[in-house]
Amino acid sequence: MPEITLLATHQLFNGEQRRYRHYSRYNQCDMTFSVYLPSRALQGYRLPVVYCLGGLTCTDENFCIKSGAQRFAAEWGIVLVMPDTSPRGTDVADANIYSLGQGAGFYVNATQQPWVQHYQMYDYVVTELPELIEKHFPVNEQRSLCGHSMGGHGALMIALKNPQRYLAVSAFAPIAHPIAGTWGQEAFTAYLGENQADWAVYDSTELITQNPPPFPILIDQGSVDEYYPAQLHPQDFVQAARFKGVNIRYHLRKDYDHSYYFVSTFIESHISFHAEAFGL
């Protein structure tokens, strides 16, 4: 049986948008991920890669269908990798609210029942998925992270916990201080338990105060986002980052909301930001 199975492929901006399935040793279930390969990758050139993390209720397909990122990745010669947002399957624990369970993995390694068996999304994104990508696709050692909403939390948090692995991180409307909002509090309680010290190691605002990163950060936030600031708290993260002298660019975008209309409007600047970090 192949290590990864191709599910679909589409021609896009002279490159290919592909979707794959594989069995995850960390999540102990089948996982899907999507990859955009620019034309230069199809020609065998080894290119840098941006891992694009989705938000609550999303799959690996939301970003690749709605963001418009491929047009700019094609221009710069950047591979895009879009993982699913959680484990899935009939044997995988779930909840009857959209902010917990399947579609809401929060990119943590769960320690509590019934989540611990399958919800190891931190190790999946940091270790397992890059191993597969670097084995099966023409990418080089340059990596960065981008995310939207819960995926913005994942991108910031993962980059801050692994500064040696990534050259930059960007986020759209990130859940930037999850322990300060009900989404994060409920998810962290379920996945990690009641001890808030265990939450802090997955909270970007807490992390940046302890270990300011060497790489640049870009955040875009819509001013009429229905979840801003109560669930997102980007201002907490930005204040902490600036206090520590971090290279952070923050834009509060007037009259934009939380949707992919917002993401697609500013995705070009994010791909250019990553290209700059890659030295392209």
Taking only the tens place, the pLDDT of each residue in 144-196 is 999 999 999 999 999 999 999 999 999 999 999 999 999 999 999 999 999 99
Averaged confidence pLDDT in the chain: 97
**Active-site residue (options: 24, 34, 149, 204):** 149
Structural contact between residues 55 and 84, judged by C-beta atoms closer than 8 angstroms? no
List the catalytic residue out of 118, 148, 153, 258.
Answer: 258
- 34 tagged catalytic: no
Over residues 7-21, the mean pLDDT reads 98
Q: What is the pLDDT of residues 43-88, one digit of tens each?
A: 999 999 999 999 999 999 999 999 999 999 999 999 999 999 999 9
118 in active site:
no
The pLDDT value recorded for residue 129 is 98
pLDDT above 90 for 90: yes
**Please, which pLDDT band fits residue 1 given cuts at 50, 70 and 90?**
low
Whole-model pTM? 0.97
Q: What is the pLDDT of residue 225?
A: 98
Q: Tell me whether residue 251 is one of the annotated catalytic residues.
A: no
Q: Is the pLDDT of residue 216 over 90?
A: yes
Catalytic residue among 144, 225, 236, 270: 225
CA–CA distance, 133 with 153 (Å, rounded to integer): 22
- Residues 109 and 112: their CA atoms lie apart, in Å, by 9
Mean pLDDT computed over 226-255: 98
CA distance to 7, 9, 200, 215, per residue, from 144 (Å):
25, 24, 23, 10
pLDDT value at position 2?
Answer: 82
The answer, yes or no, to whether residue 210 has pLDDT greater than 70, is yes
The sign of the torsion formed by the CA atoms of 39, 44, 47, 51 equals: positive
Q: Which domains does the chain have, with CATH numbers?
A: 5-277 (3.40.50.1820)
Checking if the pLDDT of 247 tops 90, the result is yes
